[in-house]
Amino acid sequence: MTDVDSTPALAVADLVKTFGGIRAVDGTTFSVPAGSITGLIGPNGAGKSTLFDLVTGVLTPDSGEIRLRGEDVVGRAPHEVAAAGVGRTFQTPKTFAGMSVADNLAFAATNQTGESALNALFRGKTVADEERAVAERVAETLDFLDLSHLADEYARGLSGGQRKLLELGRVLMLDPSLLMLDEPAAGVNPALTEKLLERVRALNDEGRTVLFVEHDIDLVMRECDHVVVMHNGATLATGTPEEIRANDRVVDAYLGGG
Ligand SMILES: Nc1ncnc2c1ncn2[C@@H]1O[C@H](COP(=O)(O)OP(=O)(O)OP(=O)(O)O)[C@@H](O)[C@H]1O
């Protein structure tokens, strides 16, 4: 066992973010083990979305630590966090309705996260090389997500579930080592949810760490090997699904209500 293996993919410590008088994130501390599928759960308003914004550099914490594979990333801009290997999807996919599915993916590689991410991916390549590399990656990503037959369709023509797959494809263009998925199954029909989860498992099998926010507790308990429970901006509990189910504080504060 090397140190690298035991360094968490993500570790936050004593993280605080206030909006006026509201302590949206109030001292939360937890880690996401490298190589895990970790579920982040908690009631509405627990601070999960704010936490995602803090980790991805959209918001800056008032205090506390955020480490990616041990490296402090507080104060980094979103494109720098993306270049450091963090890919994030949104509850409402950030796809471009008037662009084709393939162009949505190509755009994600070339424009979305700014120069630094691009440079990291294409260092030392000419423009023609770069275009070829992007086209290859688009094709690979379409194939992986089973969207090749829709490559030339406008994104606006996709179903909600297909748009979630495209959203996942958008973040895969930059080859992230940590995937942060915000309610990937919300509003997706059961068949496409299963397909999406199967792709997430495949990405995890490749060695990518997954952290996802999800309100469907059964899905979290089934899919995750590690669970973090947030409540009122703090960490209420962390552990395996079995440990979380058996935790009286979690049951009282969250699961108990039915
Ligand atoms: N930009 C903001 N300005 C003011 N208050 C905010 C802002 N963002 C979040 N909050 C508040 O911070 C708290 C945490 O919100 P957050 O959206 O992070 O929770 P959540 O766990 O993601 O909830 P949900 O499950 O409903 O998405 C809430 O009380 C929310 O109203």
Residues 6+ apart with CB under 8 A from 18: 24, 62
Can you tell me the distance from the alpha carbon of 38 to that of 254, in angstroms, rounded to the nearest whole number?
Answer: 18
The whole-angstrom separation of Cα 115 and Cα 212 is 27
Dig out the tokens for 1 from the structure: 């066992």
Q: What is the CA radius of gyration of the chain?
A: 18
**Which atom in ligand 1 lies closest to the alpha carbon of residue 230?**
21
ipTM: 0.94
Q: Choose one of 25, 28, 48, 213 to mutate for the ligand 1 pocket test, by most ligand atoms within 8 angstroms of C-beta.
A: 48
How many Cα atoms occupy the beta-carbon half-sphere of 147 within 13 Å?
35
* Helix ranges (DSSP H) in 110-189: 114-122, 127-144, 160-172
Q: 23 alpha carbon to ligand 1 midpoint, in Å?
A: 9
**Cβ of 209: how many Cβ atoms within 10 Å?**
25
50 ligand 1 Cβ < 6 A: yes
27 Rama sector, left if φ>0, alpha if ψ -120 to 50, beta otherwise: left
**Among 22, 56, 212, which residue has the most ligand 1 atoms within 8 Å of its CB, making it the best to mutate?**
22
Domain 3-257 has CATH 3.40.50.300: yes
Single pTM value for the model: 0.89
d(CA 135, CA 99) in angstroms, rounded, equals 16
pLDDT in tens, the chain (258 residues): 444 468 999 999 999 999 998 999 999 999 999 999 999 999 889 999 999 999 999 999 999 999 999 999 999 999 899 989 999 998 887 888 889 999 999 988 875 444 444 555 666 667 777 788 889 999 999 999 999 999 999 999 998 889 999 999 999 998 999 999 999 888 888 888 998 999 999 999 999 999 999 988 889 999 999 999 999 999 999 999 999 999 988 888 777 654
- Structural domain boundaries of the chain? 3-257
Name the β-bridge partners of 28.
15
| Tens digits of residue pLDDT in 6-43 | 899 999 999 999 999 899 999 999 999 999 999 999 98
